[in-house]
Amino acid sequence: MKRLLSVAAVTFVLAGGALTATAVPAWAACTDRVCVYQLANGGGTAAGFTTADNNFSNNRFADGSNVNDRISSMSCTTTRRPIFYTDSYWRGQGQRVFCDGQAENAVWDNQFSSFYYAID
């Protein structure tokens, strides 16, 4: 399985006279409870949330670009499962995310505008 790597998280190591680069995927670098990514499989730059958000229009990815309608994958590390919605204020189509720390691709790519925690 091929993973996209984040160019923002590159570490250079000088080993035995050779310069090598080790890239860390964005999904591994996000430490918030809920993380969203610009690219599939947790690639590209990330944005993190600690609470539910009913409108992504004022949220930004780490590179400064707007989160609204630009999410291609997401992940979470919480006991409560978030549901991402295609419209603001928790309306439209919803996608539940499994909170296993791995990036999950968006069903509706580049369409999410809010998220809320599921009540199970």
pLDDT, residue 22, reads 42
pLDDT, residue 7, reads 38
* Residue 120 confidence class, pLDDT cut points 50, 70, 90: low
Neighbours of 51 (CB within 10 A): 10
Domain parsing of the chain, residue ranges: 27-117
Enumerate the β-bridge partners of residue 75.
35
**Chain-centroid distance, C-alpha 12:** 24
Query: Does the structure show a pLDDT above 70 at 113?
Result: yes
pLDDT, residue 14, reads 38
What is the CATH number assigned to the segment(s) 27-117? 2.60.20.10
pTM: 0.75
With residue 116 as reference, give the H or E element that holds it: strand 114-117
Query: Does the structure show a pLDDT above 70 at 81?
Result: yes
Mean pLDDT score, 74-80? 90
DSSP code of residue 56? G
